[in-house]
Each structure stands twice: as structure tokens, then as C-alpha cells.
């Protein structure tokens, strides 16, 4: 992500986030155009991994943004922290949608759907997202920091440096946590799969 965004834009984003006032419409008008493209790129990368998700990039950005905009703690901590929080928000949006999709698949009072009309890839992706979220929740119970590293790197597409800044840890720690957490998740998902 950092290589895609020029330093001047990153600095402008940080400046705008630090001065952001959610009660001031002009502040919001100034923030949205600056962060929108970066959020869109994050969402696009995440959805490209999914292969068949029915949610569109724009919808994911909007839903994640709505989770973020009212939390002044997020904007007051700067760019990297904001995009780390955006990664968490995108994870929540994707997991919520996957859980709803799985509930619909099991019936949950929904009308009968012709099996030929169901997109199998979406159901597979929904199940995988829920499984990953469950495993990530178990990992976070053991090591919250490793869980946050996975969120930032996988769901947010943040670089090692951006993840380190967002979490307030060293790049060396991010690299170590990333390697250990991925191995843990792999073993956990294989065990359950």
C-alpha cells in the first residue's frame, strides 16, 4: 500500500485526519476525497482475494467508512492507525455478510431458492471468511497483537511499515508476528477443515 500512495498524499492524509472534526461538515468534505481512493484500493485487494464475493468494492468502502467516521479516537491517531482500523472494519463487514449468507443458506425463514440459481463460489467464500474469522478470534485470545497484525496485513493490505506504525510496534515484531500468526492460522484451519 505504501508504494501505491505518494509520500505527499500520505502526509496530507495524516494532517487531515489529525484535524478531523466529525461535527464539522467541511472537515468531512476535506477528508473523504483524500482517503476514499486508499480505502477503495484496500477493498479492491481484499475482494480480489475472495474470488467470488458479491459485495462490490464501493459497497465495502462505504460500509467500512460508516463504521469509522464517527470514532474520533481513530482520526486523532493519524493515517496508519486509521487504515489499521479500516482493515478491522472491512473484516467486520465481510464477516457479517458471510454470516448472513450462511444463515440464509441454512434457511433462517427465507423463501426457497432454486439450487441452480445459487452461486457456489459465494457460499464457499462466505464459509471461508467465517472460518477465518473464527480462527482469528481464537488466535486473538492467545495473542491480540498477532490477531491485529493479521487484520492489518490480510484484511487491510497494509505494508510491514504501515502495520508497525498502526500498532505502535517495530517492523521486526510485525514480521515475526506475521510469520507465527500465519503458521498458527494454517494449523488451526487445517485442523478444523
- Where residue 171 falls among pLDDT bands split at 50, 70, 90? very high
Say what percent of the chain tops pLDDT 90: 20
**What's the pTM?**
0.63
Asked whether 30 and 12 are in contact (CB, 8 A), the reply is no
pLDDT at 117: 37
Domains of the chain, by residue range, sit at 7-192
How far apart, in whole angstroms, are the C-alpha atoms of residue 105 and residue 58?
25
Q: In which band, very low, low, confident or very high, does the pLDDT at 1 lie, cut at 50, 70 and 90?
A: very low
Examine the pLDDT at 162 and tell me if it is beyond 90: no
- Would you say residue 52 has pLDDT above 60? no
At 172, the pLDDT band (50, 70, 90 cuts) reads: very high
Grid coordinates given for 143: 495473542
- Residue 111, classed as helix, strand or coil, is coil
Amino acid at each position: 500500500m505504501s508504494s501505491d500512495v505518494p509520500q505527499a498524499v500520505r502526509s496530507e492524509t495524516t494532517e487531515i485526519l489529525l484535524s478531523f472534526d466529525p461535527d464539522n461538515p467541511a472537515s468531512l468534505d476535506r477528508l473523504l476525497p483524500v482517503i476514499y481512493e486508499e480505502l477503495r484500493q484496500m477493498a479492491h485487494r481484499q475482494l480480489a482475494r475472495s474470488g467470488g464475493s458479491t459485495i462490490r468494492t464501493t459497497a465495502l468502502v462505504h460500509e467500512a467508512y460508516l463504521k469509522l467516521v464517527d470514532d474520533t479516537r481513530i482520526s486523532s491517531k493519524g493515517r496508519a492507525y486509521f487504515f489499521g482500523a479500516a482493515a478491522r472494519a472491512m473484516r467486520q463487514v465481510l464477516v457479517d455478510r458471510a454470516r448472513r449468507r450462511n444463515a440464509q443458506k441454512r434457511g433462517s425463514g427465507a423463501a426457497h431458492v432454486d439450487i441452480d440459481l445459487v452461486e457456489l463460489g459465494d457460499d464457499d467464500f462466505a464459509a471461508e471468511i467465517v472460518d477465518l474469522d473464527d480462527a482469528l478470534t481464537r488466535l486473538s485470545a492467545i495473542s491480540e497483537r498477532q490477531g491485529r497484525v493479521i487484520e492489518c496485513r490480510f484484511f487491510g493490505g497494509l505494508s510491514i511499515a504501515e502495520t508497525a506504525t498502526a500498532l505502535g510496534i517495530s517492523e521486526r515484531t510485525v514480521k515475526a508476528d506475521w510469520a507465527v500468526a500465519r503458521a498458527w492460522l494454517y494449523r488451526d484451519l487445517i485442523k478444523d477443515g
